Amino acid sequence: MESAFTESTECALVRVYASVHPAEFSQALEILLERYFRNPRFTLLTPSEDGALFWVEHSTCAAVPADGPIPLRSAELTFVHRERLLDACYDGPIPLLTIHAEVLPLRRVRTVTFGGEVIGMIIFHDPLPSVDESPPGEIDLEAALGHALNALEGIYVRTVQAERLECGESKLQGIKEIGQFLGNLDLNTLLSHLISVYVRLTDAQVGSIVLDDGLGGGAEWGLPLEVLEQVRERGGEPLARRSARRGETLLIQDYSDDSRYQPIERFHVDSFLCVPLASKHRILGTVNLIKGGGGRGARFSETDLATVVTISALAAVAIENALLHRDQLEKERIKANLQIARSIQQGMLPAAGLEIPGYDVAFMAKTCDETGGDYFDSVRLAEDRAAFVIGDVAGHGIGAALLMAAGRANLRALLTVKSDLPEVMARLNDLLAADLDSERFMTLCIAELDFRAHVLTTVNAGHDLPLLCRASDSKVEALESTGLPLGMFEGSTYERGIERRLEVGDTLLLTTDGVWECTNAQGERFGKPRLAEMLQRSAGKSARDTVNAILAEVESYTRGIARQDDLTLIVVRRCS
């Protein structure tokens, strides 16, 4: 599968990462947002060293001049103190920011922190698009903002932290080199570049970067993991693991001469340096460097330690970027696979009902995930008989979809060789029970219609009871269940329900429980009585209008509440 990041997206992100000062960063971010996210207006603020001022480094609002930073007193930014170390999203009431008499709304605030200090703030003045509104195959806005905040942190580390570091010109050059890697989103390539710079900056003989077990990845420069694991106190855990667990730096200048430490077989260690790679919320791994062989210069200095600690802050930003990129690619890969699965599943379901003389038929299905566990179908059984099938697999998502597909395939095959529906249901139950665990099952109802004699019969394996509304008196009858859900117990038997004659105007409704179990904001279910009432009110309407009316009522009832289950309807109405 091709990368979910198109070339243009990748270039836009790299331009953001490669920025060396806030103005360049702002311009790169503006291009990214304009190209992919409906161009929301934003303002970039950075604090002064004493925190008394915030500088407006850049703003896309026309009323804000772009000829240099504009100072704002921190006291004027009342929202800053309340959300100083937090991100905020405002729907209402909307706070306001005044810049040179221009009043701008605050829709979203994203802060960047380093060492507990706010080092930058991106303020959005327009509503931001949701994840669902992201262009197909592109990164979503949250992922893009995550990358942007990491890039801004990288600018801070390069410009501010490097100036505070007292080291030689060659070391500062190394720091700049790592800054250039910030735009490299391939994790393995990035780690290889980083370890080479670490070794060169400190004159280490060997080194490695080891990431946390849950992240995967790493890079070696002559220091394999099995050797690193031997660097430990006698009887203790490996020093690199201890450093990662505690988040502490280690500088051991006389490792071989100190009896506390375990000698390493076929490897001489004079000095060991280990620094955690710490992002905002977690320890990503450790940088591990060794000098060995004795002689002059075989010890790491305090300056080496300070250099590695400082550039590791920048390296952690770069690694976090690459991990975000890798995770985004994996999300897009899964999303694409689910969309393929959805397309295949939708192809298994009928696009329209059977054309049956004297009857009006309509279907509707909505899934709460990319794929669903609801099943509906219509099958011609004989010249004068048809079956309407509706089913529901326990759970939803890809697992439920696979079981639904298996049930459909088996049912279709059985209907070609068997005409007795209770026998078909029993055989289908045994086939599913042989493959399913105790937590998986499927409910299924087959409504058989003799459309010449206008006689309806059901075989119901634990499914929601069909509703039959009589045109003569608008009474709604719940039809019977005739057996257990499929797949629970081998050997289960099923019976036919009562035969019922359909008169002109009579309407049959088959649903899954996602219709009546959905809830409103108060947690109250839509309920079966309300569903029966909707069926009564639809008397005289077409099957399609009845389906649409029920769906509209359900959506109105659950407005603002995410659907938790799949939702499927079949309406069959005798019209002549």
Confidence check: pLDDT of 79 > 70: no
Task: State the Cα–Cα distance between residues 366 and 488, nearest whole angstrom.
Answer: 26
Same domain, 11 and 81: yes
The CA-atom distances, in angstroms, between 236 and each of 232, 233, 261, 403 are 6, 5, 9, 50
Q: Is 170 within a domain?
A: no
Show the beta-strand stretches assigned E in 52-196.
53-59, 70-73, 88-89, 96-99, 102-105, 108-114, 117-124
Same domain, 331 and 353: no
Same domain, 424 and 568: yes
Q: Per-residue pLDDT tens for 410-426?
A: 898 998 888 899 999 99
Strand order through the sheet with 218-221: 218-221, 206-211, 283-291, 271-278, 250-252
Q: Which residue has the tokens 């590791």?
A: 312
pLDDT top residue among 194 and 179 = 194
> Mean pLDDT across the chain, nearest whole number?
78
CATH number for the domain including 422?
3.60.40.10
Residue ranges making up the domain that contains 200 = 185-309
Q: Per-residue pLDDT tens for 44-73?
A: 887 776 666 677 777 777 555 545 555 665
Same domain, 542 and 463: yes
Q: Is 475 within a domain?
A: yes
Q: Is 148 within a domain?
A: yes
Same domain, 328 and 390: no
Same domain, 471 and 521: yes
Q: Is 342 within a domain?
A: no
Q: Per-residue pLDDT tens for 240-273?
A: 999 999 999 999 988 888 889 998 877 788 899 9
Same domain, 204 and 261: yes
Signed CA dihedral, 47, 52, 58, 59: sign only: positive
Same domain, 360 and 224: no
The pair of structure tokens assigned to 552 is 């509209």
Q: Is 163 within a domain?
A: no
CATH number for the domain including 228?
3.30.450.40
Same domain, 388 and 330: no
Same domain, 434 and 535: yes
The whole-number average pLDDT for the span 498-504 is 94
pTM exceeding 0.95? no
Cis peptide before 357 (omega within 30 of 0): no
Rg of the Cα atoms in the chain:
33
Q: Per-residue pLDDT tens for 368-396?
A: 665 566 888 888 998 899 999 998 887 66
Confidence check: pLDDT of 295 > 60: no
Q: Is 1 within a domain?
A: no
Sorting pLDDT into bands at 50, 70 and 90, what band is 471?
Answer: very high
Same domain, 457 and 517: yes
Confidence check: pLDDT of 311 > 50: yes
Same domain, 444 and 529: yes
Q: Residue 36: which residues within 8 A CB-CB, separation 6 or more?
A: 9, 12, 134, 135, 138, 139, 144
